[in-house]
Chains A and B, each alone.
Chain A
Amino acid sequence: DIVMTQTPLSLSVTPGQPASISCKSSQSLLHSDGKTYLYWYLQKPGQSPQLLIYEVSNRFSGVPDRFSGSGSGTDFTLKISRVEAEDVGVYYCMQSIQPYTFGQGTKLEIK
């Protein structure tokens, strides 16, 4: 199975400041079709996960443009340009080359 490793495991951010989360995969997520199968989810407190970013850098429907994803191969980053109070929760990266696997999660809290 592909192992997903996130850093940091927690971060505390002042509203309006940027935040960045790293995700590394144990194998390349680049497929022969040219696409890279890396996703980002946010699980807000008491809720189920919600999709933020698909295939590295594509924002899902309704996701604010302060969220952006980047990376290639085995190294990926989720950035929040200006953190807002509603962004608190646990962020997970996920790869979808079978079987699906998730990172350990990064807990974002507001200072």
Chain B
Amino acid sequence: QVQLQESGPGLVKPSGTLSLTCAVSGGSISSSNWWSWVRQPPGKGLEWIGEIYHSGSTNYNPSLKSRVTISVDKSKNQFSLKLSSVTAADTAVYYCARAIHCTNGVCSSYWYFDLWGRGTLVTVSS
């Protein structure tokens, strides 16, 4: 059974860079899935940050694109998030998630999240 586990510093200073890793266990990151980062500020809703395919192809949320880099390390079966120039507004629980587009043998044009990590809280503060 595939599981996702986020890891990284829980505290980042303003203007610094937030760095997180999502380890994929029980399956291969090279499977036919996109791998995403989603965040949730305390008490608020969900915001998609960006995604990566095992080939290295990426898509980012335009609202964060200038500050986000997502990379993949197939040898370690993990993918990573870097968010630069952080402010207090970037304080959130960060989730990694797997996106699929086929269910019960039927495939679709667009993808959706079927599996999430437990999330990790990152606080931006001096």
Contacts and interface: CB of A to CB of B under 8 A. Distances in A.
Interface of A: 1, 31, 33, 35, 37, 39, 41, 47-51, 54-55, 58, 60, 92, 94, 96-105
B118 A48 contact: yes
B111 A96 contact: yes
A96 B103 CA distance: 15
Contact of A102 (B47, B63, B119): B47
A33 B113 contact: no
Interface in B32-57: 36, 38, 45-48
Given A48-B116, A98-B59, A99-B61, A55 B45 contact: no
Interface residues of B, number: 24
6 contacts: A33-B109, A39-B112, A60-B114, A98-B110, A99-B48, A100-B48
B10 interface: no
Nearest to A98: B59
Interface of B: 36, 38, 45-48, 59-63, 95, 103, 108-114, 116-119
Nearest to A101: B48
A32 B112 CA distance: 18
Contacts of A51: 112-114
A67 B116 CA distance: 21
B109 A35 contact: yes
B119 A48 contact: yes
B112 A49 contact: no
A81 B110 CA distance: 29
Contact of B59 (A31, A60, A92, A99): A99
Contacts of A35: 108-110
Nearest to A92: B46
A54 to B, nearest CB: 6
A37 B108 CA distance: 9
A55 B108 CA distance: 9
